[in-house]
Amino acid sequence: MAQRGNPNQDARAAGNGRYIRTPATAQKDARAAELRAQGWSFPRIAAELGYGNRSSAQDAVERAIADITREPAEAVLHFELERLDAQLVRLNELEEKARAVLTARHITVSNGHVILHPETGEPIEDDAPVLQAIDRLIKIEDTRRRNSERRAKLTGIEAAIKLDATVHEVTQQDLELQEMLRDAKARVAAQEEALRDGTGGEA
């Protein structure tokens, strides 16, 4: 039996008249879609469920169809965002370890013995861990950038706006990282130059 009046009146926001989707209206939309799948006409659906007119019944069916197609997409989006979040946590852990290696002093050891500088007798620093840390930090920075770009594509324009604000924060971190990299490279270059010249000077 058809309902009297506007069945969606309670689903309109006070003051602005905008339609608000509620669990009850969503269930009703789903019922409209079921009836349409059984071959019912929109006027008949409107009369049965109390929609104001044919167009309202058609809108209800279209909303129900959108729900059907949106739910799997939202599940995939949730999975992808969780995966990106987990990757970001891992990147932060790797960055912390790489920074620790970069700032630490590494001594060259061969066959269990510390290698000493022939002129000064001081232990020779091992450049390999520093260079490896630099390479790792560069890769982490690139992966983090691709992570942000992927997140922006998945979540749309609004995420891209948020990403813009995040980039400013990351840029400050990048400046600090670049300064550390420059210092490390300069130290390594000075040590290599001193060894070549035989001056024994320590950077």
pLDDT at 18: 53
Residue keyed to tokens 């059984």: 38
Provide the 3-class DSSP secondary structure of residue 139: helix
> Which of 155, 160, 173, 165 lies closest to 84, judged by CA?
155
- CA nearest to 56, candidates 16, 13, 12, 121: 12
What local confidence, expressed as pLDDT, does residue 24 receive?
85
Per-residue pLDDT of the chain (203 residues; tens, 9 = 90+): 334 334 444 444 444 455 566 888 888 999 999 999 899 999 999 999 999 999 999 999 988 888 877 777 777 778 888 888 999 999 999 999 988 888 888 777 777 777 877 777 788 777 788 888 888 888 998 898 888 888 877 776 444 445 454 544 445 556 666 666 666 666 666 655 655 665 444 44
Q: What is the pLDDT of residue 32?
A: 92
Q: What is the pTM of this model?
A: 0.48
For the chain, the first-to-last Cα distance in angstroms comes to 91
d(Cα 17, Cα 3) in Å, to the nearest integer? 21
The tally of domains found in the chain comes to 2
Does residue 84 fall inside a structural domain?
Answer: no
Residues 108 and 188 both lie in one domain: yes
* 114 plus 59 within the same structural domain: no
Is the domain of 193 the same as that of 112?
yes
Beta bridge mates, 21: none
Q: What is the pLDDT of residue 190?
A: 64
The radius of gyration of the chain's CA atoms, rounded to the nearest angstrom, is: 32
pLDDT of residue 70: 76
Q: Are residues 50 and 119 in the same domain?
A: no
Q: Whole-angstrom Cα distance, residue 41 to residue 51? A: 13
The answer to whether position 98 is within a domain reads no
- Residue 190 covered by a domain: yes
Residue 157 pLDDT: 42
Query: Which amino acid is located at 111 in the chain?
Result: N
Structural domain that includes position 117 = 104-197
Amino acid at 144: R
